[in-house]
Amino acid sequence: MTGQNGNGVTSSTPPRTLVDKIWDDHVVAEGRGAPSVLAVDLHLVHEVTSPQAFTGLRRRGLRVRHPERTVATADHSIPTTPRDLPILDEMAAAQVRQLEDNCREFGVPLHGIGDPNQGIVHVIGPQLGLTQPGMTIVCGDSHTSTHGAFGALAFGIGTSEVEMVLATQCLLQRRPKTYEVAVDGRLAPGVSAKDVILALLARIGVAGGTGHVFEYRGSAIEALSMEQRMTICNMSIEGGARAGLVAPDDTTFEYVAGRPHAPKGADWDAAVERWRALPTDDGAAFDKTIEIDASALEPMVTYGTNPGMGLPISAQVPDPAAAEDDQRRRGLEQALAYMDLLPGQPLLGQKVDVVFIGSCTNGRISDLRLAAAALKGRKVADGVRMMVVPGSDEVKREAEREGLHEVFRAAGADWREAGCSMCIAMNGDQLSPGQYAVSTSNRNFEGRQGKGGRTFLASPLTAAASAVAGAIADPRLLPGIETLAVVGGR
């Protein structure tokens, strides 16, 4: 393994991408014809995709190889009602109990219900300083790509792989192809990271990145806060890519510094030196490239039943008759039938019943700040239910320190406990059949937010503006939008 020089200036080392460097740093063994054995630095665990893995370990008589490189939380199936209430759903309660038992038996640190560091697994990793540049990070959850915002190779795995990582701290993987997503220019006021990723998905479709890892680059990405970068990387999987990364820079180091699990003192200095060598070398080749002009982007909204079915907010629902082939036409017809939308119908003004702000995509403090700024002094429209679900207990405490919960409550929104909530709708927070929601989450699949429910994916600003209007509304028309900077979050 070479590559101590991050600028790729040694004559012996060909220029490498960020992904190549992290990959090369973690290859334990390569076999003829077999996939590489790849070391995992950090393994995140939650209650839904881990029970069968722990059962497998027990059946094989295995231990967790590195419980101190593993961390668990309960997020998917837990209610977002006050924490002193019991979990009414027997199956969810049993699943959470089993996680607690498994963590106790195998010595895995757990931030469970009642722990001040509980929260959505992809929110607490960065928050605790566990997520760091150059790492390999896995979790039995497809939105593990979120952690790529720190310049880590982070991807979702299945439960069989969870078991393998628990037992060996390694995985069998083949080197992924690389896909450069170059986003240059300046985002207009009211346009944020969520709109960037929805625009990418609308261009390449939900299979465009299959077999690849995205690297998001360019002046627009460099200008984003860490939390905005996380929003983009989070939805890499929606484009078919298991992972999506941003090169670490001063914004990254500033965010990580001082967090509970971040390196300290001399270790910190050594780590930053190592991290500065990670960015893609000049002249390194990507397998694929796409360019996006950030300054041309509008707020984006999805109209269909996959995240690639998105449009600029001022556009009209497309006509299936204009589809390029029969399969596409049928897919679009099925999506519009499910959504009960008509070709040519404008998205603006489409009535909504529910607004959901939260999830590993947009449930961080800066997302809540934007939503609160848009709601301040306004009211959620009559007949609209608005739920605000912080991404973690700490996000909730910070929001309350800043008084954001008062803004939400005064507007008529419901301020909840932390969890995945209506993003995956397995905890009782869900849409009723036929209801329309504007949601800051990541998936608009049929039934994703409740059987028969219909989802419009959008940014926190668009969601808040729509809550006030009672219909899909353009956040660029919010009074004072020019001053609503897309702020970072510490």
Partner 1 sequence: MPEPFSSFTSKVIPLPAENVDTDQIVPARFLKVTDKAGLGEALFRDWRFEADGSLKEPRFVLDEPEMAGRRILIAGDNFGCGSSREHAPWALVAWGVQAVITTSCADIFQGNALKNGLLPIIVDPERLAQLFDLVERDPNVELSVDLESQVVHLPGDEDLPFNVDPFSKLMLLRGTDEMGYLLGKAAEIDAWEAAHPARVDTRPT
Structure tokens at 230: 């996380």
State the minimum distance, in angstroms, from the CB of residue 328 to partner 1. Answer: 8
User: Which are the contacts of 370, defined by CB distance < 8 A and separation ≥ 6?
Assistant: 192, 459, 460, 461, 464, 484, 486, 487
State the minimum distance, in angstroms, from the CB of residue 20 to partner 1. Answer: 17
Q: Is 401 exposed, middle or buried (0-12, 13-18, 19+ CB in 10 A)?
A: exposed
State the minimum distance, in angstroms, from the CB of residue 92 to partner 1. Answer: 5
150 or 216, CB closer to partner 1? 150
Are 127 and 394 contacting, i.e. CB atoms less than 8 angstroms apart? yes
Are 431 and 449 contacting, i.e. CB atoms less than 8 angstroms apart? yes
26 or 229, CB closer to partner 1? 26
30 or 254, CB closer to partner 1? 30
376 or 397, CB closer to partner 1? 397
Residue 62 C-alpha from the chain's centroid: 32
36 or 192, CB closer to partner 1? 36
Q: CA–CA separation, 225 vs 230, rounded Å?
A: 9
Q: CA–CA separation, 229 vs 124, rounded Å?
A: 16
Q: CA–CA separation, 207 vs 363, rounded Å?
A: 26
CA nearest 141: which of 56, 219, 201, 72?
72
> Residue 383, by phi and psi: left (phi above 0), alpha (psi -120 to 50) or beta?
left
228 or 442, CB closer to partner 1? 442
15 or 51, CB closer to partner 1? 51
Q: CA–CA separation, 72 vs 100, rounded Å?
A: 9
Dmax over CA atoms of the chain, in Å, equals 67
7 or 160, CB closer to partner 1? 160
3 state SS of 423: helix
State the minimum distance, in angstroms, from the CB of residue 435 to partner 1. Answer: 13
State the minimum distance, in angstroms, from the CB of residue 35 to partner 1. Answer: 6
Distances (CA, A) of 352 to 31, 303, 349, 463: 54, 13, 9, 10
Distances (CA, A) of 18 to 4, 122, 146, 255: 13, 21, 16, 19
State the minimum distance, in angstroms, from the CB of residue 170 to partner 1. Answer: 6
325 or 382, CB closer to partner 1? 325
Q: 159-168 vs 51-60: helix axis angle to the nearest 10?
A: 50
210 or 219, CB closer to partner 1? 210
State the minimum distance, in angstroms, from the CB of residue 181 to partner 1. Answer: 17
Residue at 52: amino acid letter: Q
State the minimum distance, in angstroms, from the CB of residue 37 to partner 1. Answer: 5
State the minimum distance, in angstroms, from the CB of residue 307 to partner 1. Answer: 9
State the minimum distance, in angstroms, from the CB of residue 49 to partner 1. Answer: 7
